[in-house]
Structure 1
Amino acid sequence: MNSLELTSRQKEIIEIVKINGPVTGDSIGQKLLLTRSALRTDFRILVELGYIESKPKKGYIFKTDNIKSKMLINTDIEVKDIMSPSVSVEESISIHETIVMMFSKDVGSIFVTSGKFLKGIVSRKDLLKVVMGKIDTEKTPVSLVMTRVPNVIFTEKNDKIRDAVKKLIEHQIDSMPVIEKNGNNYEVIGRITKTNIAKLFLEIFQ
Structure 2
Amino acid sequence: MELSTRQKKIIEIVRRDEPISGDNIAKQLGLTKPTLRNDLSLLTMTGILDARPKVGYIYSGQTIEPLLFEELFHQKVAEIMVPPVFIKQTTSISDAITDLFMHDTGSLYVIHEVTGEFVGLLSRKDLLRASINNQNITGTPVAMIMTRMPNIVTITPDERIIDAGYLIVHQEVDSLPVVESANSTKVIGKVSKSKLLTHFISSGYEVEKNKEK
Give the TM-score, by structure 2 length: 0.60
3-state SS of 2:188 partner: strand
Moved over 6 A (4+): none
> Of 74, 77, 80, which aligns to 1:76?
74
Which structure would you say has the larger Rg?
1
2:169 aligns with 169
3-state SS of 2:159 partner: coil
Q: Residue 107 of structure 2 contacts residue 122 of structure 2 at CA under 8 Å; is this kept in 1? A: yes
1:155-174: CA deviations, max 9, x gaps? 11111111111100001111
Amino acid at match of 1:120: G
Q: Residue 93 of structure 2 contacts residue 140 of structure 2 at CA under 8 Å; is this kept in 1? A: yes
Alignment of 1:172-191 (within 5 A): 172-181=172-181, 185-191=184-190
For structure 2, list consecutive stretches of 5 or more residues without a partner in the other structure.
4-65, 206-213
3-state SS of 1:167 partner: helix
Q: Residue 71 of structure 1 contacts residue 77 of structure 1 at CA under 8 Å; is this kept in 2? A: no
Alignment of 1:26-175 (within 5 A): 71-72=69-70, 75-114=73-112, 115-175=115-175
Distance 1:116 1:188, change over 3 A: farther
Shift in Å at residue 126 of structure 1?
1.0
Task: Judging by fraction of residues, say which structure has more strand.
Answer: 1
Amino acid at match of 1:198: L
Q: Residue 85 of structure 1 contacts residue 191 of structure 1 at CA under 8 Å; is this kept in 2? A: yes
Shift in Å at residue 140 of structure 1?
1.1
* Percent identical: 30
3-state SS of 1:169 partner: helix
Q: Residue 72 of structure 2 contacts residue 203 of structure 2 at CA under 8 Å; is this kept in 1? A: no
3-state SS of 1:84 partner: coil
Aligned length: 141
1:7-52: CA deviations, max 9, x gaps? xxxxxxxxxxxxxxxxxxxxxxxxxxxxxxxxxxxxxxxxxxxxxx
Shift in Å at residue 117 of structure 1?
2.1
Give the TM-score, by structure 1 length: 0.62
1:130-162: CA deviations, max 9, x gaps? 111234111111011000000011111111111
